[in-house]
Structure 1
Amino acid sequence: MTTNADSHLPSADPVGGEDRPWFKFYPDAVPTQIPAVVEHSLSDMVRNAAANHGDNIAFSNLGGSLTFNEVDRLATDFAAFLQNDFGLEKGDRIVIQMPNLLQFPVAFYGALRAGLIVVNANPLYTVSELRETLQDSKPRAIVVMSNFAHKVEELLPGSTLEHVVITDAGDMLSQPKRSLINFAADKIKHMVPKFSIPEAVPFRAALKRGSEATWKDPELAQSDVALLQYTGGTTGGSKAAMLSHWNLLNNQEQFMGQIRNTLGEDRQHVVIAALPLYHVFALTVNAIGFFRFGSHNVLITNPRDMPGFVKTIHKSNPDGIMLVSTLAAALMDDPNFAKTAHSGLQITVAGGMALRSSVADRWREMTGKDITEGYGLTEASPVVAVNPTHIAPRQGTIGIPLPSTDVRIVGEDHMDVALGEPGELAVKGPQVMRGYWNNPEESANVLLDGGWLLTGDIATMDEDGFLRIVDRKKEIILVSGFNVFPGEIEDAAMLHPKVKEAGATGVPSESSGEAPKLYVVKRDETLTEGELREYLKTRLAGYKRPRDIVFVADLPKTNVGKVLRRALKELDADISTAGE
């Protein structure tokens, strides 16, 4: 099915003569086309949010908070520091590697205000994974939480990094809480491995020096790249989507139209940001969308600390929670969550991975509210579709396309398939990326004439426009909303001298949606599962490591020798595992 007859791609006539059958599901307060974005940049957006919401709390975390005015002022201070002390210029890249802390929005918006391009790095990255990011993005600076600075120290020689800013967990808190939290993390919990980077600048010192310097407006344009967000893309293999200020500003406007309609604008709302801001979903929805809307974002640093998480929810009595299916399930498994008052909760949005129907049913029974499921991908900034928030969600679907978003369901020849038939989901809208960083070949594979993005996901469309994801053309393993690439696991395993061949795939997991499983052909029969697991700990972040390792005599391959990952699962019926 098509939704845009003037596309440069071949297309069939719209089914039923209706270009966009889902428009009827938008309430009168939500236009089907978003208005033109007035800000030139995300820096302008921060300035406008401060003017509109002033001394209201914008972010809170670990018992501290920042108002909209404080975010605006501190971002300017950090921008001035980056320009004057580090000499960074428009277009330079800067890595931010930290969990959800008050420092994150200050560093993020400060870097953008200086005209820099932000590169988000997962704090769980191993040295090898961080090295790949640094080699590809070639940043001049990094802002890193002290817990992970030892990895940066190892990578500094031979990298393009010239400058390091280091922050401790409690840096944005008032005394004595700041010192207590930082002391506990380092000396009591031993969460900060030893490191030595003599030239590194403490985050608080950077802000002070910036407050004494002059910020110079880099004159940003909407088309300027704001973010390099690493992803496996639609074809696997790590690459960075170039997301512009225009992409990100438009996507939050597309998404927040329904949110504003559901929550209303009569008062400030409290929203739980449980997903990490270095993930593009939370970045766009929480750090940009809800911030621009004037909401109070409660940042959760460690959602795995379930007692602390539940306590924060109880204290905040939020209007909304953004999470993934597995996190919702973990919350409901905590006995104290059922005792928590949910009277204020108006909206819960699950993104990043498929929402399990059992989780949706339990959530409704426990809270009296529905979970709204949506869909997106990094290359689309990321939100593409969502179930309308003013009606009961249609379970099993990813909802309807956002305003100003066109979709098509196409076959291998890029021709439209019949309504209801499966095909690859193609997307067009202002949220679609500019392309992959320094990778024109991969960009050309997914960005087609007319501005269409091939998502790599196989979908169907109902008669009234609701979309269902039925399969993935790409082989990415989705672990709690994070992309894990089979090739990366295989490459890491095959670096072990006793491994001859390796194949990885995803298998269902109650705790994470999917989990990696690794099939290995031994080069040396003395290789044990324990030995290989210890080796992979040095090469892969925890969520990327295989849950199961199976030793096999051979791997299924194509006639040109490529591992048939889809056929790996069929091996389980015929092989025996070998352990230690």
Structure 2
Amino acid sequence: MLKLIERANNFKENIAIKSGGYSYTYQALLNRSESIAVELLAGKKDLEEERVTFLVDPSFKYTSIQWGIWRAGGIAVPLCVKHPLASIEYVLDDTKTSILIYGKEYKSLIAPLLNRKDIRFIKAESFENIFGILPDIEIERRAMIIYTSGTTGAPKGVVSTHKNIETQITGLTNFWEWTENDHILNVLPMHHVHGIINVLSCALWSGACCEFLIKFSPKDIFEIFKKQEINLFMAVPTIYFKLIAYWDNLSTLEQNKVSLALKNFRLMVSGSAALPLSVHEKWKRISHHVLLERYGMTEMGMAISNPYKGDRIPGSIGKPLKGITVRLVDENNKIVEPGEAGEIQVKGDNVFKEYWNKPEATKDTFTSNGWFKTGDIAVLDNGNYKILGRNSIDIIKSGGYKISALEIEEVLRLHQDIKDCAVIGLPDEEWGETIAASLVLKNANLSFDNLNYWLKGKLPGYKIPRKYIVQSDLPRNVMGKVTKNELKNLFNVDIL
């Protein structure tokens, strides 16, 4: 039996999942996932890595289906509930899925697919309470395929084994000191490693409780917090930004109630995108907590983290987790000196097995001696890693300089009339790239000439944007990350 599922037997009476107003024990999760596994097998002894996709809201239902797929020997392929039919169909075809499990709320979305003969369709609500013999699953077997956002082409399926997943879970549960007394609120998408591994799987490994909130609502989140049952929270910077904005509009009495509840948390984490310093400072004022920043990717789970105990440096992602090796290298894969910028490369059992059916892409993302090339640029400063940006996205090469877009964004957010921003590099014949910024303004009368004058006191001249556009909001994917390639297209027609 897989260790994640085997450990559930130690916590049978504990509440594993809270969702939809109901509480479910680990025993209920074991029973339900066994029934699902038996029905998926349909008389077979083992699914033998058949791909099973599922389109289900975050819930006990989602969790038991995920476990059921694993217990039957299948590869779990979670689908994004916000994706259009074309994106769903792409995943079905790319994985050559044999089974699609869907919640009743998504029947109309997938209706055009239901006549396909190559896929067995199962309503998530239709599983019966049946029990039977399940296969013994080896830890080296493929367990899950999560699709990347596809910012540089068609999305790629990241294949993780059960060993990869177990390593990712134990690295975090040990470092962040999870226990069965923990209770976490999960508001993250469940087709992404952040929600699946960092929150749900870490909680279930530990015998803790994972509570789901299906639809994001700052009001509902704060109401749950005020019950003072939750003691962990993990989110992306966009969520913290929205929570801060909602808190700012509460009465002083309500603000104090929320802040009192937050003060009693033991850990709050931010990840999946760079945390603006302004958000970091405002959340500290509201919650009395210094957000823990960490670094990871779909391909490897988490690899680097600020300390659970000890000083956390804003803008830093900390040190490598135990059992994970990290290095910074230049364009020739030569290790750079401390203080010099280099690409983050990682080795460890946390690193994924392959991109699904893409051997060349898999080969290209590893060095000849097995280092995973993340494409992220960082610098090592006093033993801590600091992200400078994404290679070719956040690193702008202009006039011979390598410029961090994230650094410029951080400065722009300090301006009193700027609510949010994103900085990109645009192709330029003379400079290689020219710096451009998209702004979300608090004051629509902001003058770009005045802004540039203000920036001259904050940044050297070669780091000041040459082009601007103003938007009501920045384009983002479902994880809240700004889609900078989309921004580049906007500049082609809307340059100011």
Q: TM-score range by the shorter chain?
A: 0.7 to 0.9
Q: Give 1:60 deviation, angstroms.
A: 0.4
SS at match of 1:438: coil
Indicate the residue corresponding to 1:75 in structure 2: 33
**Residue 291 (structure 2) aligned to one of 336, 350, 371:** 371
Structure 2: how far apart are the matches of 1:242 and 1:506? 35
Indicate the residue corresponding to 2:201 in structure 1: 288
Structure 2: how far apart are the matches of 1:443 and 1:436? 6
Indicate the residue corresponding to 1:353 in structure 2: 273
**Residue 437 (structure 1) aligned to one of 332, 337, 356:** 356
Counterpart amino acid of 1:422? A
Q: Residue 95 in 1 paired to residue 53 in 2?
A: yes
Indicate the residue corresponding to 1:457 in structure 2: 376
Indicate the residue corresponding to 2:6 in structure 1: 47
Q: Give 1:268 deviation, angstroms.
A: 1.1
Q: Residue 422 in 1 paired to residue 326 in 2?
A: no
Structure 1: how far apart are the matches of 2:112 and 2:477? 17
Indicate the residue corresponding to 1:277 in structure 2: 190
Structure 2: how far apart are the matches of 1:356 and 1:241? 28
1:159-308 → structure 2 map (5 Å cutoff): 160-166=118-124, 203=125, 205-208=126-129, 211=130, 213-217=131-135, 219-232=136-149, 236-260=153-177, 265=179, 268-303=181-216, 305-308=217-220
Q: Give 1:64 deviation, angstroms.
A: 0.4
Q: Give 1:99 deviation, angstroms.
A: 2.6
Cα deviation 1:489-533 (Å, max 9, x = unaligned): xxxxxxxxxxxxxxxx9956699xxxxxxxxxxxxxxxxxxxxxx
Alpha-carbon spacing, 1:319–1:150, altered in 2? closer, same or farther (3 Å): same
Structure 2: how far apart are the matches of 1:283 and 1:545? 18
Cα deviation 1:158-198 (Å, max 9, x = unaligned): 573122224xxxxxxxxxxxxxxxxxxxxxxxxxxxxxxxx
SS at match of 2:226: helix
Alpha-carbon spacing, 1:546–1:390, altered in 2? closer, same or farther (3 Å): closer
Alpha-carbon spacing, 1:544–1:65, altered in 2? closer, same or farther (3 Å): closer
Counterpart amino acid of 1:328? Y
Indicate the residue corresponding to 1:332 in structure 2: 244
Indicate the residue corresponding to 2:221 in structure 1: 309
Indicate the residue corresponding to 2:425 in structure 1: none
Counterpart amino acid of 1:323? A
Counterpart amino acid of 2:96? K
Q: Taking structure 2 as the reference length, what is the TM-score of the superposition?
A: 0.77
Q: Residue 467 in 1 paired to residue 385 in 2?
A: yes
Counterpart amino acid of 2:235? L
- 8 Å contact from structure 1 (residues 277, 287) kept in 2: no
- 8 Å contact from structure 1 (residues 95, 142) kept in 2: yes
Q: Taking structure 1 as the reference length, what is the TM-score of the superposition?
A: 0.66
- Structure 2, unmatched stretches of 5+, are 396-404, 406-435, 443-475
Alpha-carbon spacing, 1:439–1:474, altered in 2? closer, same or farther (3 Å): farther
Q: Residue 403 in 1 paired to residue 322 in 2?
A: yes
Alpha-carbon spacing, 1:412–1:376, altered in 2? closer, same or farther (3 Å): same
Structure 1: how far apart are the matches of 2:378 and 2:150? 17
Q: Residue 66 in 1 paired to residue 58 in 2?
A: no
Cα deviation 1:412-453 (Å, max 9, x = unaligned): 111112221112111111100111000000000102233210
Identity fraction in percent: 23
SS at match of 2:351: coil
Indicate the residue corresponding to 1:318 in structure 2: 230
Q: Residue 390 in 1 paired to residue 309 in 2?
A: yes
Indicate the residue corresponding to 1:26 in structure 2: none
Q: Give 1:292 deviation, angstroms.
A: 0.8
Structure 2: how far apart are the matches of 1:393 and 1:405? 20
TM-align CA RMSD: 3.1
SS at match of 1:449: coil
Structure 2: how far apart are the matches of 1:506 and 1:99? 36
- Structure 1, unmatched stretches of 5+, are 1-39, 167-202, 479-504, 512-539, 549-563
Alpha-carbon spacing, 1:371–1:100, altered in 2? closer, same or farther (3 Å): same
Q: Give 1:278 deviation, angstroms.
A: 2.2
Alpha-carbon spacing, 1:158–1:77, altered in 2? closer, same or farther (3 Å): closer
- 8 Å contact from structure 1 (residues 94, 116) kept in 2: yes
Structure 2: how far apart are the matches of 1:251 and 1:370? 24
Structure 1: how far apart are the matches of 2:340 and 2:370? 23
Cα deviation 1:514-553 (Å, max 9, x = unaligned): xxxxxxxxxxxxxxxxxxxxxxxxxx988899999xxxxx
Cα deviation 1:431-478 (Å, max 9, x = unaligned): 0011100000000010223321000111111132x1111121154999
- 8 Å contact from structure 2 (residues 19, 212) kept in 1: yes
SS at match of 1:275: coil
Alpha-carbon spacing, 1:379–1:360, altered in 2? closer, same or farther (3 Å): same
Q: Give 1:58 deviation, angstroms.
A: 0.8
Structure 1: how far apart are the matches of 2:487 and 2:191? 30
Counterpart amino acid of 1:331? L
Alpha-carbon spacing, 1:338–1:363, altered in 2? closer, same or farther (3 Å): farther
- 8 Å contact from structure 1 (residues 134, 159) kept in 2: no
